Amino acid sequence: MKTILIVSICCSVIVLRTSTAKEEFPKDFLFGIASSAYQIEGGYNADGIEPMVTLYHNDLPMPLQEIGGWTNPYTAYYFEDYARYMFSYFGDRVKYWITMEMSSNGYGDDKYPPFINQPGIANYICQHVMLLAHAKAYHLYDAEFRKNQQGKIGVAVDATWYIPATLSKDVEAAERAREFKIGSIMNPIFHTDGNYPALVKEMVDNRSISEGYLQSRMPTLTFQEADYIQGTYDFAGLNIFTSYRVKHDAKGTANTTLEKDANITLHQDTEWEKSGSDWLRVVPIGVRRVLKWVKDKYDDPEIFITENGFPDKGEINDVKRIQYLQKYLKEVSISIQEDGVKLKGYTVWSFLDSFQWTEGYREKFGLYHVNFSDKNRKRTPKLSATWYKKVIKERRVVDWKEVTSNLEEDL
């Protein structure tokens, strides 16, 4: 029920070569690579490596799912008990904790487990209970463990960037998308008002009444709950992969959905570079934009990019992955140096070709190839592993051509 993010604290001599200032990283910047807990094979604390542990990432035990999962308020209490166990047994070795990946996937759609598929209802309830569960874990750590363990607690959020399709009503629509998709989770924790964004609550409340509901489909945070959740963070974890275009759409569908509540529709430009997955297109500028948005909106918190990666079909010479990571890391560097974002670390997803939910092992994010035909599941480093090692060692954005010059094929 946990995912481990391995954060590498590079202790090597800094090599600057001919890179520009915009392509370098601070000496205390943390580089990491993420993996699932069942893939960790030792060495989590070797050679300057430090673990960052996620307590929950879409892996709720089935007995809890059978009594409602994250729509059951008692799940927050069970999560607190689980967090106490983890802090007690691993807190002496783990100093960075992510309580959970705050995602309502599977509650508002039928694409992910648990396939509840009640959009506009179950996803809001799920989000509400998760916020309370996160806060319980944070306050527990504060009360019983922080003094002796001296760790940090954060939460990870899907930080997709939303771009207006045109310079018209779509500009406001894009901001609504950010408020609904990102703000609904971050606002209660990171904003000084400690509640759901007022715009989001107003729109869902009004539409619920117009649809004949006796009360809003979106739960209300009581004053006590809002106060309990607000400020429960030491850092923000952002998962950043891609961006979407947003169009204003006041009509929507006949069904209740988050998009209908927000009066928006989403799409990706066909000219944006493709990846190995339909949902991910390459939009590097989205990284800088969302980092700046979070900085400005939430009083400049410490941030970790907890997931960023590129799926392909499993090529060993994975040049497209390197090109993607290079473009995104360049925007990360600019965010630090020009925008003043307090970005403390960056984590690639993922270490190995891992199990990707409903895609199984078809979606390949790994910097290491896994041979599933071999009974020993032999691991082979891809070209991206060589590239990323060079990035960490030299603390700069390495051009992809520096590691592809020896390839026979014309890249």
Q: What residue spans define the domains of the chain?
A: 3-161+175-243+285-402
Q: What is the pLDDT of residues 353-383, one digit of tens each?
A: 988 877 778 899 999 999 989 999 999 999 9
What's the gap between Cα 348 and its chain centre?
11
**Backbone dihedral angles phi then psi of residue 141, each to the nearest 5 degrees:** -65, -45
Please state the φ and ψ torsions of residue 134, each to the nearest 5 degrees: -60, -45
What the block records as the tokens of 108 is 């508002």
Q: CA-CA distance, 33 to 352, in Å (whole number)?
A: 9
Query: What local confidence, expressed as pLDDT, does residue 41 receive?
Result: 57
pLDDT of residue 8: 38
What pLDDT, on the 0 to 100 scale, is given for residue 16?
28
Counting as low any pLDDT under 70, the low residues of the chain are 1-22, 37-44, 252-253, 407-411
* Rounded alpha-carbon distances, angstroms, from residue 183 to 117, 158, 191, 377: 22, 11, 9, 41
Taking the C-alpha atoms of residue 267 and residue 22, their distance in angstroms, rounded to an integer, is 31
Non-local CB neighbours of 338 within 8 Å, separated by 6+ positions: 22
Three-state secondary structure readout of 154-198: EEEEECCEEEECCCCHHHHHHHHHHHHHHHHHHHHHHCCCCCCCH
| pLDDT value at residue 38 | 61
- 204 contacts 263 by C-beta, under 8 angstroms: no
Q: Angle 285-297/319-337 helices, nearest 10 degrees?
A: 30
Fold of 3-161+175-243+285-402: TIM Barrel (3.20.20)
CA 284, 287, 293, 299: dihedral to nearest 10 degrees? -160
Neighbour tally for 339: CB within 10 Å? 15
pLDDT of 312 reads: 95
pLDDT single digits (tens) 73-112: 999 999 999 999 999 999 999 999 999 999 999 999 988 8
Tell me the backbone φ, ψ of residue 338, rounded to 5 degrees. Answer: -100, -35
